[in-house]
Structure 1
Amino acid sequence: MTETDRQLDQRLERAIVGLLERRAATSSICPSDAARHAYDGDDAGWRALMEPARRAAWRLAAEGRVEVTQGGERVAEEEAHGPLRIRRAAGW
Structure 2
Amino acid sequence: MMNDKPVYPSEEAAEAAILALAGRPDAPKTIAPEEAARALASNADWQNLLPLVRRAAVRLAQSGRLVIYRKGKPVDPADFRGVYRLGLPPGG
- TM class by shorter chain equals 0.7 to 0.9
User: Does the aligned pair in 2 maintain the 1:15–1:37 contact within 8 Å?
Assistant: yes
Pairing of 1:65-84 with structure 2 (within 5 A) = 65-84=65-84
User: Which residue of 2 is the match for residue 36 of structure 1?
Assistant: 38
User: Which residue of 2 is the match for residue 51 of structure 1?
Assistant: 51
Higher helix proportion: 1
**Whole-Å Cα distance in 1 between the matches of residues 63 and 57 of structure 2?**
10
**Unpaired runs of at least 5, structure 1:** none
**Unpaired runs of at least 5, structure 2:** 1-6
Is the alpha carbon distance of 1:75 and 1:10 closer, same or farther for their aligned partners in structure 2, counting shifts above 3 Å? same
The one-letter code sitting in structure 2 at the alignment partner of 1:61 is A
The one-letter code sitting in structure 1 at the alignment partner of 2:47 is R
**Whole-Å Cα distance in 2 between the matches of residues 26 and 38 of structure 1?**
19
Q: Percent identity?
A: 31
**Whole-Å Cα distance in 1 between the matches of residues 36 and 25 of structure 2?**
13
- Count residues in correspondence: 86
Write out the 4+ residue segments of structure 1 that deviate beyond 3 Å after TM superposition: 23-26
**Whole-Å Cα distance in 1 between the matches of residues 62 and 40 of structure 2?**
21
Using structure 2 for the length normalisation, give the TM-score.
Answer: 0.82
RMSD: 2.0
Instruction: Point out the more displaced range, 53-62 or 24-33.
Output: 24-33
User: Which residue of 1 is the match for residue 16 of structure 2?
Assistant: 14
